[in-house]
Structure 1
């Protein structure tokens, strides 16, 4: 790995996390190329979703969806340890998932075996209209703070970041490296993979999400009602377009994300006033503590982002491609995560690192992610 030059395209949560783990594995150099950066982006940019995310851990994987299960489980365990670092902006808190009725044949969801403090919601926990729920300890991320931490760690390990570079073709990114001499390219372009030359994945599509950011430091739990027990893939045939996506996601700075919408193939970045009113009503219905002394929470911002979804779920694979100069590079894809980019990020980065190690003839190291987290957390891990 020490002799390899890596180019990562995309500076969202997947690109930053993949770059960070490859640097930790000893890559000779890692350069991230992106038009937008976490600290400088256009809010109406349809291809840069990470800064607009709610960013909590609530799995989409169903009980037989073993690939996504691995990504999410590894990420849960990594975030649990990283949450002891205040600079990360990760907050541990109780998470609730509520359902209209209790399943006739109750099967515990797959994640019950490892999440902390898993159990059933009590009658006192249930909001009006909900007959059943589960609860467990989860995380939320203060997105600006978390992305800044990832960026800082990449720089601290010697990574280079090149922002403001618009790419028509993936090979355009090669100019960010002296002589264009790159051994490995990691494609983390999210929705950009739909149009990026040399990739142009027609299975990618946008899912519009509208949210409201409010100031409500009194809210100390996450709440979701949109997913079936065990994840979206266990939805019993219910199509995603029909789901009412309602969620409450507090951050450690007192900001709470209220959502939302799940509108497939809708690329509009405009705020819809009717949707905003509906979101506020639905969220208050499941989280009454949003209202204090009869007053609605202060609205900080209305936001719209496009989840970078993909038919067949996220793409993690690799192949060898030749550049226009005839140089052969290992081309690794890591995109198409829809609404689960943060909660799968460390598991996906681990998979990227494993694919790279295998391709270049390095021995496999199943503990590479836990080793990284241990080194980052250091002595603070004793507090877990």
Structure 2
């Protein structure tokens, strides 16, 4: 029986997670991943990689909860295995603090992380500008390690990787039977999606081994996330900004704001500055799209999985599992001769 040719577009955490899910679950498919950039040059490489979710407005909370849970369980299994050092996945504890009491004191993901609770008055004295806080243990995923680890896993499952620029989904229709679009910000052009827009994020990597617990301001702009080899300080959220070079003023602002939360960062050595363009969208798009036609008239089904904004790592495995289900639907609907 001829293997169904599936192509996944995009080599970030969404693309590789999806490619691994499809390749491992569907051995009757020959899966190829194509992208113009790979780690360490993807947006995912810049991500702080901590599992923390903000709620999207138009997606049922049950579906968002499932995405979070599937991703958390997947990464927790890695963190508890001998693969953890290679994959760069670890458990991390800390707190999120707020200048005003949030409308939702208990977020939808609170029962999925470990030990969720409110900060005590004594604990809040550390942060005199804040009046409310949450403490919990979650997972951190170092994308610079995790992406190469996923690529190796994908290749072990028989996947093929190609570095090339894709100008349109239609150009893939002649070579593949099914297209999975995980192109992130590139989906604006590839899928003709006017909702996709860049959200510039800048972070610093510093050497501060004495910092062992994360701190995140509830506004999402200021955070301190310790990792395996360095501490990530952030950040910025600049919608519509396509600059990929580091801005010294942004770096100064990050250090100043993080210093208010943790004064000892002033003693930290700055190792590097990183900039990435998040694929901003009101809601992630995880759904089947309109098929594209090749020159001979054959219509090739398309599945989309993009637009996660700053939640790519957090939702990557959950949305990949959903995408796998959509791929299965497409395969079931294909004419028999296409699978023979």
Task: Please confirm whether the aligned pair reaches a TM-score higher than 0.5, indicating the same fold.
Answer: yes
Q: Bigger shift: 281-290 or 335-344?
A: 281-290
How far off its partner does 1:333 sit?
Answer: 0.5
Query: Given the alignment, which residue of 69, 82, 95 partners 2:78?
Result: 82
Aligned length: 324
CA contact (8 A) 1:2 1:26 kept: no
Query: Partners of 1:360 and 1:4 in 2: how far apart?
Result: 8
Match of 1:236 in 2: none
Query: Partners of 1:187 and 1:32 in 2: how far apart?
Result: 10
Query: Partners of 2:2 and 2:254 in 1: how far apart?
Result: 50
Q: Bigger shift: 212-221 or 202-211?
A: 212-221
Match of 1:284 in 2: 259
Query: Partners of 1:168 and 1:358 in 2: how far apart?
Result: 26
CA contact (8 A) 2:169 2:292 kept: no
CA contact (8 A) 1:61 1:69 kept: no
Query: Partners of 2:105 and 2:243 in 1: how far apart?
Result: 38
How far off its partner does 1:113 sit?
Answer: 2.1
Q: Point out where structure 1 has 5 or more consecutive residues left out of the alignment.
A: 42-47, 175-179, 228-243, 363-384
- Structure with the bigger percentage of strand: 2
Instruction: Note the alpha carbon deviations across 1:179-212, whole angstroms, 9 max, x for none.
Output: x44221100110011122xx22111101111111
CA contact (8 A) 1:226 1:247 kept: no
What TM-score, normalized by structure 2, do the two folds share? 0.89
What TM-score, normalized by structure 1, do the two folds share? 0.79
Instruction: Note the alpha carbon deviations across 1:216-238, whole angstroms, 9 max, x for none.
Output: 122222221134xxxxxxxxxxx
Query: Partners of 1:342 and 1:290 in 2: how far apart?
Result: 25
For the pair 1:316 / 2:279, whether they are aligned, the reply is: no
How far off its partner does 1:135 sit?
Answer: 1.1
1:43-82 superposed matches below 5 A: 48-61=42-55, 65-82=61-78
How far off its partner does 1:286 sit?
Answer: 1.5
Q: 1:151 to 1:353 in 2, by over 3 A?
A: same
CA contact (8 A) 1:33 1:173 kept: no
Query: Partners of 2:111 and 2:318 in 1: how far apart?
Result: 17
Match of 1:359 in 2: 330
1:1-384 superposed matches below 5 A: 3-27=3-27, 28-39=29-40, 41=41, 48-61=42-55, 65-84=61-80, 85-86=83-84, 87-103=86-102, 107-126=105-124, 127-163=127-163, 165-173=164-172, 180-196=174-190, 199-227=191-219, 245-253=221-229, 255-291=230-266, 296-311=267-282, 313-319=283-289, 320-361=291-332
Q: Point out where structure 2 has 5 or more consecutive residues left out of the alignment.
A: 334-340
How far off its partner does 1:282 sit?
Answer: 1.0
User: Over aligned residues, Cα RMSD in angstroms?
Assistant: 2.2
